[in-house]
Amino acid sequence: MLSSGEIMPLIESLIWLLAGVGVFIVGMNFMGDALEKSAGSGMKRLLEKISNNRFSGVGIGAGVTAIIQSSSATSVMVIGLVNAGVMTLMQATPIIMGANIGTTITGVLVALKNDYFNMAMYLLAFAGVMMGFFKKEKIKIAGSLCCGLGLIFVGLEVMSSEQAFGNELVEVMFTDIFQRIDFPLLLILVGAIFTALIQSSSAATGVVITMVGAGILPLDMALFIVLGSNIGTCVTALLASVGANANSKRVALIHFTFNTIGTVIFTTIIWIFKEPVVNLLVSLFPGDDQMSLQMRVSAFHVIFNTTTTCILLPFVKHLVKYSCLIIKDKNETDDNLSLKYVDDRLLTTPPVALMQVKREIEYMLSLVEKNTKLSFTAIDSNSTEHSETIRKNEEIIDFTNRALTQFLIKLSANVEESDEKTIGAYFHVLNDLERIGDNAENFHEIGVEMLNKNIVFSDKARGDITEMRENVLKMFALSKDAFEKLNKDELSELTTLEEGVDSMKKQLIANHFMRLAEGNCSADVSPYYSSIISGLERVADHLVNIGFSIVNPTGSQKIDAPLSI
């Protein structure tokens, strides 16, 4: 029983310990965010290389996790990509495996710390704070990286300080606790719960490594807690899959199954051969100094994740089949509109989210182009066979505009300054595409109304409309190429065509009124003809805006006019 004089020092030590854990996690978040921003283009290149090659998938998973310092974040990102239909289960599974390898880097860094290294890290944290006062975005990001890395070691030092583990009462308390739970399954459960609570296996492993280095936790018990932390880290992915489609839930299940199988294999080995395993780790890092003690835990963490990946990588197909067997497909109707490439879970990784937004806009552009082509069927062929297709496409276009705008608003709070202009450009492109879609719908409605009223254009009027339309469709091709490939070479021809369409509009309207005056054209067609010619000219203006968005992200080139029939 503790006396009143012993309770207060014990509470103070526990507060120091919790403060150290808090600073450690804050430092990890700082460093992860900074690495993510500075290596955004690298992450994009990695994800663009996603293929069905399982070895490259492992490499991508390890690389991305090393960048953002969180296997949980990588898992959530992968779930978002699978939910958006960008990645298949076969592609996602090796990436999840690689993420477990990438997350071991933090443990290695923690284990390597010593007094001189710590001093350098403290100075680095101070330098990072000072760099935050600079106006240049790149310097601020570098400052966040330095500050985060330094805070990790500040947190570790606080955890292992005299005020925390240096208190004999704390040592006695933890020794007593671990003696009571000195059973592998209980230790695994402790590791899983602790990791699930702090949402970071890297932080949990860092705490375990520090406790081993301080002599509070025996190595053989620490190994089981580390195994449990790998199960606890799956909680984030499982929560992220809630509300997602069946494939996303399968990714979370595969992640959990992968870590559970690895834990079962290693638990069995260590339980049966505990002494030889511990002796092996001691022989790899001999000595009683703090670094040697810590490196044993860190090395085990690396060995566990690497070995589990090597064992299960040949069984990727079996894991996918198993997940499909457990989680059945639900009957999903086409009435439920959703974005094709974008998912809110990608907000945690802005560089990837921005890449997916571009893909979504490209898809929207293809629908707008298709509707523009189909909208003249009623005029050209006296047919309404494509009415339902146009209606459904326009519904998707309108939904994508609204949903993507909301996503960009949320994303804009998380991106770095250089990406803010890109988001601004995307807002304008979405508006232009939505207006082109409205014009396409208007062309179709004109054709249907003329068909119902048995009104037809003269051969000359029909020929004029066809000529102008073909020029606009050429602009579609150039605008798409400029936007999708960031190709500035097309902009000169795009501008020339747009100027030609402007001139054509004036000339065609003048010719039409001349035909009316000569009695060669019916006055009934006049409002329809004028609306189509004016609408095509507005479509051309919007296409120029889209093309020039790659060099002028601050606003539109042209001013839109209201639709009319």
Question: What is the phi-psi region of residue 50: left when phi exceeds 0, alpha when psi lies from -120 to 50, beta otherwise?
Answer: beta
Give the count of beta carbons closer than 10 Å to the beta carbon of residue 220. Answer: 16
Q: For residues 222 and 304, give the distance between their C-alpha atoms in angstroms, rounded to a whole number.
A: 13
Q: pLDDT higher for 331 or 234?
A: 234
Cα 305 from chain centroid? Answer: 24
Residues making up the chain, counted from first to last:
565
Report all structural domains of the chain as residue ranges with CATH numbers, in order of start.
4-326 (no CATH), 344-548 (1.20.58.220)
- Res. 30: pLDDT tops 60: yes
Decide if 465 contacts 547 (C-beta within 8 A): no
Q: Once rounded to an integer, what is the mean pLDDT over residues 317-340?
A: 78
Q: Once rounded to an integer, what is the mean pLDDT over residues 300-313?
A: 93
Q: Which residue has the tokens 């081993």?
A: 212
Q: Once rounded to an integer, what is the mean pLDDT over residues 462-467?
A: 89
Q: What is the pLDDT of residue 296?
A: 92
- Whether the CA torsion 434, 435, 436, 439 is positive or negative: it is positive
Across 78-82, 164-168, 232-236, 368-372, least confident range: 164-168
Radius of gyration, alpha carbons of the chain? 31
Q: For residues 410 and 367, give the distance between their C-alpha atoms in angstroms, rounded to a whole number.
A: 25
Q: Render pLDDT for 239-256 as a digit per residue (tens, 0 to 9).
A: 877 767 788 889 889 999
Backbone angles phi, psi at 486, to 5 degrees: 50, 45
Which secondary-structure segment (H or E) carries 481? helix 459-485
- Which of helix, strand or coil describes residue 181? coil
Q: Once rounded to an integer, what is the mean pLDDT over residues 319-331?
A: 85
- Which of helix, strand or coil describes residue 221? helix
Amino acid, res. 94:
P
The pLDDT confidence band at residue 512, using thresholds 50, 70 and 90, is confident
Q: Once rounded to an integer, what is the mean pLDDT over residues 442-453?
A: 90
Q: Which residue has the tokens 């790899």?
A: 284
Q: What is the mean pLDDT of the chain?
A: 83
Q: What is the pLDDT of residue 45?
A: 62
Q: What is the pLDDT of residue 556?
A: 44
Q: What is the pLDDT of residue 389?
A: 92
% of the chain with per-residue pLDDT over 70: 88
Q: Render pLDDT for 163-215 as a digit per residue (tens, 0 to 9).
A: 666 666 766 777 778 778 888 999 999 999 988 887 777 778 888 888 888 78
Q: For residues 224 and 181, give the distance between their C-alpha atoms in angstroms, rounded to a whole number.
A: 11
Q: pLDDT higher for 192 or 11?
A: 192
DSSP string across 69-120 = T-HHHHHHHHHHHHHTTSS-HHHHHHHHHHHHHHTHHHHHHHHT--HHHHHH
Q: pLDDT higher for 137 or 284?
A: 284
Q: What is the pLDDT of residue 39?
A: 58
Q: For residues 453 and 52, give the distance between their C-alpha atoms in angstroms, rounded to a whole number.
A: 56
193: closest CA among 204, 183, 182? Answer: 204
Q: What is the pLDDT of residue 515?
A: 80
- CA-to-CA separations, 417 to 64, 133, 305, 367, 499, in angstroms, rounded: 22, 15, 37, 31, 34
Q: Once rounded to an integer, what is the mean pLDDT over residues 92-120?
A: 82
The pLDDT confidence band at residue 559, using thresholds 50, 70 and 90, is very low
Structure tokens at 362: 């490209």
Q: What is the pLDDT of residue 94?
A: 92
Q: For residues 42 and 103, give the distance between their C-alpha atoms in angstroms, rounded to a whole number.
A: 18
Enumerate residues 6+ apart whose C-beta is below 8 A from 435.
538, 542, 560
Decide if 530 contacts 509 (C-beta within 8 A): yes
Q: What is the pLDDT of residue 333?
A: 47
Which pTM does this prediction carry? 0.70
Q: pLDDT higher for 144 or 334?
A: 144
Q: Render pLDDT for 117-126 as a digit per residue (tens, 0 to 9).
A: 778 888 888 9
Amino acid, res. 374:
L
Q: Once rounded to an integer, what is the mean pLDDT over residues 351-366?
A: 89
Backbone angles phi, psi at 86, to 5 degrees: -85, -30
Q: Which residue has the tokens 């000169």?
A: 492
Q: Once rounded to an integer, what is the mean pLDDT over residues 95-124?
A: 82
126: closest CA among 148, 96, 103, 93? Answer: 148
Decide if 536 contacts 552 (C-beta within 8 A): no
Q: Once rounded to an integer, what is the mean pLDDT over residues 115-141?
A: 84
Q: Once rounded to an integer, what is the mean pLDDT over residues 249-277?
A: 92
- CA-to-CA separations, 356 to 14, 57, 71, 101, 359, in angstroms, rounded: 45, 19, 21, 26, 5
Alpha helix (H) residue ranges in 199-289? 201-213, 219-232, 234-240, 246-272, 274-284
Q: pLDDT higher for 524 or 244?
A: 524
Q: Render pLDDT for 31-79 as a digit per residue (tens, 0 to 9).
A: 767 766 665 556 656 666 666 788 888 988 888 887 766 777 788 778 8
